[in-house]
Amino acid sequence: MKTPLSSSLFFLTCSLFASAEFRRSSVFETTNRQDGDKIILTAHGMGIDDVNRVVIPVHDGRIPPLPCVTSNAGTHPHGSTFTKNNFHYTCNNGTAEVVACLADDGSVIQLGRTFVRGGMKHYCSVLGDNVTYKQESMCYENGMHYNVGDSFRNGSFKLTCREQGVYVEGCYMQNSFNDLLMAGESRIENGKRHECEIIGPGKVRYVVKMLGCMHEGQQYSTGQMWTHQHVRYQCKNDGTLLVLGCIDEDLFIELGRDLLMNGAAHRCYQVNTTVFYHKFACERSSLAECVSQSMQRRFRRHPEQRG
């Protein structure tokens, strides 16, 4: 007999006709011709002096139907039925035969059958002369029972039955049978962002977002370009903004470049996350001198505060 493997899965195995405890043990002993013969029955493994032995007289050489003598389960007459642990027995002329398995709630499982109740699957398996009773956890989802380890689809989600219950593995992408996003993963395809978002323990949400950019209260589509306060933007595929440069009428200045044209200096630069376009007169011989002078004027305009 095997001990339970875990709280959700355990096995019990016994002989089809008699377990290690239920095998018949008979000893014939002749004590006196006048008293006739007798049969001494003990539980398997016990000696003939065992206090629970059963002595059956034999008259005229005829042996009557024998009872079943068991350890820890008493003595049972021929033709009777009894239970021990998760097995149901019948006594057949001294042999305890397993006729069914018994669940903890008293449900009877016939030999070679399975039985499902309360999220548990019960097996009563026959292999040779051995009968094995086994119970294991199951998952119940949308009217279907699933074994531990089974994966299945429910709407947009891939689910797996585990011993602790149903687990969300990931999300199937829209209009797809095989493309799977694992929980927490996102992917951009065809101008859409697909997200398999974890929103809590054991909770996942599948979201599809049309990509685009929001800037200064305006919505722009993927790839679209626009100008705001001399700065040229483009909406990227992932919904973020790309600064292309600065524009003054028909003049384009790349981000990070300075340009001198027709006596005017044009600057397009970025400080932290802010992009600036700066245009000012430049009558000096070099652009670098004008830029340096412009920066000095800006510095004098904002002197360092002293305490």
Place of tokens 């350890």: 71
Which pLDDT value is given to residue 94?
Answer: 84
Give the tens place of pLDDT for each residue, 176-191. 888 999 999 999 887 7
Phi, psi for residue 255 in degrees, rounded to 5 = -60, 130
Helices (H), the chain: 287-301
Tally Cβ neighbours within 10 Å of residue 190. 7
Could you tell me how far CA 279 lies from the centroid of its own chain? 61
- Distance, CA of 277 to CA of 258 (rounded, Å): 10
Using only C-alpha atoms, what is the Rg of the chain?
43
The token duo for 65 is 């139907």
State the pLDDT at residue 169. 94
Q: Do residues 227 and 247 lie in contact, with contact meaning Cβ atoms separated by under 8 Å?
A: yes
pLDDT (0 to 100) of residue 299: 43
**Predicted pLDDT of residue 142:** 84
**What is residue 153's predicted lDDT score, i.e. its pLDDT?**
93
Segments of the chain with pLDDT less than 50:
1-35, 299-307
What pTM was computed for the model? 0.46
Per domain, the residue ranges of the chain are 9-136, 149-210, 213-301
